[in-house]
């Protein structure tokens, strides 16, 4: 299921922000209910997003079943996979730290990994495609999967991230 990993908490955190991992059956509705809309509301409450701007995200959420691509079984996600949580050891090993683990769509971690820059990202994508190929059109869905981390950052750090989230939402709607 989407949400909490087995034995994991339903009430979790991503950085300093609360994150709800309630179980859900289908990723599009779960992503809207537990990853996009709570942070849209939080950004509006903090004055980071204007109430009228929330409608852009609501339109994305209403169209998520068609925008999400082919249905996939839930994947175990790191949940906060950005370059700062990837440790590149001298021995060539890679270690992941500071997870916000949950069940979700596997494209989400990959989209977030590229959001703030990641060394060797092209190699990561090639290796991922070799091990577990992504569905056609995955590159077109990157912005959709970045809505969650961008909105979390908007809530925590302000308007600049809200602008990025709005751009990603508008580009998602235009596809």
Angstrom distance (rounded) from CA 102 to CA 104: 6
pTM assigned to the model: 0.91
Domain range list for the chain: 11-174
Q: Which of 11, 80, 91, 136 is catalytic?
A: 80
- Kindly state the tokens that stand for 109: 């971690």
Mean pLDDT over 103-113 rounds to 93
Candidates 101, 114, 174, 111; CA nearest to 147 is 111
Residues 119-175 have pLDDT tens digits of 888 988 999 999 999 999 999 999 999 999 999 999 999 999 999 999 999 999 998
Residues 115-124 have pLDDT tens digits of 988 888 898 8
Q: Right CATH number for 11-174 from 3.40.50.11540, 3.40.50.300, 3.90.1200.10, 3.90.230.10? A: 3.90.1200.10
Query: 80 catalytic, yes or no?
Result: yes
Angstrom distance (rounded) from CA 175 to CA 156: 29
pLDDT of residue 117: 85
Candidates 103, 149, 75; CA nearest to 9 is 103
């Amino acid at each position: 299921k989407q949400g909490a990993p087995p034995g994991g908490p339903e009430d979790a955190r991503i950085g300093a922000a609360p994150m709800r991992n309630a179980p859900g059956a289908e990723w599009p509705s779960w992503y809207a209910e537990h990853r996009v809309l709570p942070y849209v509301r939080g950004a509006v409450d903090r004055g980071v997003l204007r109430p009228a701007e929330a409608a852009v995200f609501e339109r994305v959420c209403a169209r998520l079943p068609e925008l999400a691509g082919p249905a996939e079984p839930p994947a175990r996600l790191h949940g906060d996979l950005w370059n700062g949580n990837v440790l590149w050891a001298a021995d060539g090993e890679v270690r992941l730290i500071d997870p916000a683990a949950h069940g979700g769509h596997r494209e989400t971690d990959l989209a977030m990994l590229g959001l703030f820059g990641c060394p060797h990202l092209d190699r990561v994508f090639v290796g991922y495609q070799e091990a577990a190929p992504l569905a056609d059109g995955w590159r077109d869905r990157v912005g959709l999967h970045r809505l969650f981390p961008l909105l979390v950052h908007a809530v925590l750090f302000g308007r600049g991230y809200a602008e990025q989230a709005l751009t990603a939402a508008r580009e998602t709607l235009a596809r």
